[in-house]
Amino acid sequence: MTATATRVLVLNSGSSSLKYQLLDMTDATRLAVGLVERIGEETSRLSHTPLAAGGEKRETEGPIADHEAALKAVGAELTADGLGLDSPKLAAIGHRVVHGGLKFTEPTVIDEAVLKEIERLVPVAPLHNPANLTGIRTARALRPDLPQVAVFDTAFHTTMPEHAARYAIDVATADAHRIRRYGFHGTSHAYVSRKTAELLGKDPAEVNVIVLHLGNGASASAVAGGRCVDTSMGLTPLEGLVMGTRSGDIDPAVTFHLKRVAGMSEDEVDVLLNKKSGLIGLCGDNDMREIRRRIDEGDERAALAFDIYIHRLKKYIGAYSAVLGRVDAVAFTAGVGENAAPVREAAVAGLEEMGLAVDASLNAVRSGEPRLISPEYARVAVAVVPTDEELEIAQQTYALVSA
């Protein structure tokens, strides 16, 4: 890598999509952002915004056959802005990889052995890891000379102690099939817990934070002195909080019941719990804006869905307060956490005895900046801290290749 190579391309590759951001790490500015959707269909769409040039969003529609074609199309867009993938200024490509198992505790430069290990983890992340691998292989074929770094969603959670990570099931069976709690959204939990410490003017090593990542997928984590000690997602992202379309915690016997009594197949149960449950299953909407609008109109189903969502959230705040012993801050992040003031207010309501409170006027402020929303007297800081997973991936990637 040359001293002038300061750019990092971040790729987040899904089964039919490719999200990307190009950043300059000298000052962490975003040069371009974009998304290719519906890869493999006739109606693929590429939207690209060249932020460096102050440019307008450009959208192109038309068939993009596979991830290789998608990345080439992205490359062409970047070249048109003078930011081409062949530029000597490009230092590395950072890839989001969902499942790193127990082996990957840090961002890792990708080689054949790393690819094999990510492949070996496909049975525990059947939806995500194959898509991530496709993205990596495509990018390596295009720029074989460039360091490519995998940043794992699970890595931040590998510090969880055994008593938090293990399910109470037969140890031999669990170990044979690598069944344990891995946790996800780790890049976000790492970034937000660090930013929360910064907001408090403290070293991350000094503070205990509960991070509530509330997006369409949602997870909570307990972070003690910068290290994750518990998180709500488990073997897969299905466990924990009520989410947009996932049930979160459920008695596992519900699955036997659905098969034995309702005659559902394994796949049908999988789809029910992952895609047709959570908020959408409860009230038919998974967008919190729409749910709030319906509640304002007196819709009882929407109100009950909201209450169930908040009840689970409160239980995790309580549980993680107990796990941490002392809580310095509760940080809300992601689409719902950053934008839905009623969710933040309801999640903390009634927890004054635990030192938690929200100031109504601070909570109503809309801003893209990290901010405190608790009143001065509150013992525990309540914060809104916008997450930035791409920046975190870029920073981890750049730190590794420029070391």
Size of interface with ligand AMP, in residues (CB under 6 A): 12
Q: Does 244 bind ligand AMP (CB under 6 A)?
A: yes
Cα–Cα distance measured from residue 325 to residue 360, given in angstroms and rounded to the nearest whole number: 27
Instruction: Give the angle subtended at the CA of 281 by the CAs of 278 and 282, to the nearest 5°.
Output: 85
Q: How near is the Cβ of 216 to ligand AMP at its closest, in Å? A: 4
Q: Does 92 bind ligand AMP (CB under 6 A)?
A: no
Q: Of 287, 315, 323, 371, which lies in the binding site for ligand AMP, with binding defined by CB under 6 A?
A: 287
Helices 389-401 and 186-199: crossing angle in degrees, nearest 10, is 90
* CB neighbour list of residue 6: distance below 8 Å, 6 or more residues apart: 24, 25, 26, 89, 91, 398
Q: How near is the Cβ of 32 to ligand AMP at its closest, in Å? A: 20
Q: How near is the Cβ of 28 to ligand AMP at its closest, in Å? A: 20
Q: Does 339 bind ligand AMP (CB under 6 A)?
A: yes
Segment interacting with ligand AMP, rule: CB under 6 A, options 84-92, 115-123, 301-309, 332-340: 332-340
Q: Does 334 bind ligand AMP (CB under 6 A)?
A: yes
Q: Does 384 bind ligand AMP (CB under 6 A)?
A: no
Q: Does 220 bind ligand AMP (CB under 6 A)?
A: no
Hey, is 261 helix, strand or coil?
A: coil
Q: How near is the Cβ of 344 to ligand AMP at its closest, in Å? A: 10
Q: Are 356 and 380 in contact (CB under 8 A)?
A: yes
Q: Are 309 and 279 in contact (CB under 8 A)?
A: yes
Q: Name which of 187 and 286 has its Cβ closer to ligand AMP.
A: 286
* CB neighbour list of residue 261: distance below 8 Å, 6 or more residues apart: none
Q: How near is the Cβ of 214 to ligand AMP at its closest, in Å? A: 7
Q: How near is the Cβ of 348 to ligand AMP at its closest, in Å? A: 17
Segment interacting with ligand AMP, rule: CB under 6 A, options 9-17, 112-120, 141-149, 330-338: 330-338
Cα–Cα distance measured from residue 196 to residue 325, given in angstroms and rounded to the nearest whole number: 18
**Per-residue x/- mask for ligand AMP, residues 289 to 308, rule CB under 6 A?**
x-------------------
Residue the block writes with tokens 């819709």:
299
Q: Name which of 70 and 280 has its Cβ closer to ligand AMP.
A: 280
Q: Does 117 bind ligand AMP (CB under 6 A)?
A: no
Catalytic residue among 24, 81, 153, 285: 153
Q: Does 234 bind ligand AMP (CB under 6 A)?
A: no
* CB neighbour list of residue 360: distance below 8 Å, 6 or more residues apart: 345
The interface with ligand AMP within residues 180-219 (CB under 6 A) comprises 215-216
Q: Are 243 and 218 in contact (CB under 8 A)?
A: yes
Q: Does 245 bind ligand AMP (CB under 6 A)?
A: no
Q: Are 222 and 351 in contact (CB under 8 A)?
A: no
Q: Give the CA radius of gyration of the chain.
A: 22
Q: Is the dihedral of CA 33, 38, 41, 44 positive or negative?
A: negative
Q: Is the dihedral of CA 175, 275, 307, 183 positive or negative?
A: positive
Cα–Cα distance measured from residue 368 to residue 332, given in angstroms and rounded to the nearest whole number: 13
Q: How near is the Cβ of 213 to ligand AMP at its closest, in Å? A: 8
Cα–Cα distance measured from residue 277 to residue 308, given in angstroms and rounded to the nearest whole number: 12
> How is residue 139 written in tokens?
């990018």
Segment interacting with ligand AMP, rule: CB under 6 A, options 51-59, 76-84, 117-125, 281-289: 281-289
Clarify whether 153 is annotated catalytic.
Answer: yes
Strands 227-231 and 371-372: what pairing?
Answer: unpaired
Segment interacting with ligand AMP, rule: CB under 6 A, options 71-79, 108-116, 331-339, 348-356: 331-339
Q: Does 340 bind ligand AMP (CB under 6 A)?
A: yes
> How is residue 169 written in tokens?
């099931």
Q: Of 288, 380, 382, 391, which lies in the binding site for ligand AMP, with binding defined by CB under 6 A?
A: 288
Residues forming the site for ligand AMP (CB under 6 A)? 215-216, 244, 286-289, 334-336, 339-340
Q: Which residues are catalytic?
A: 153
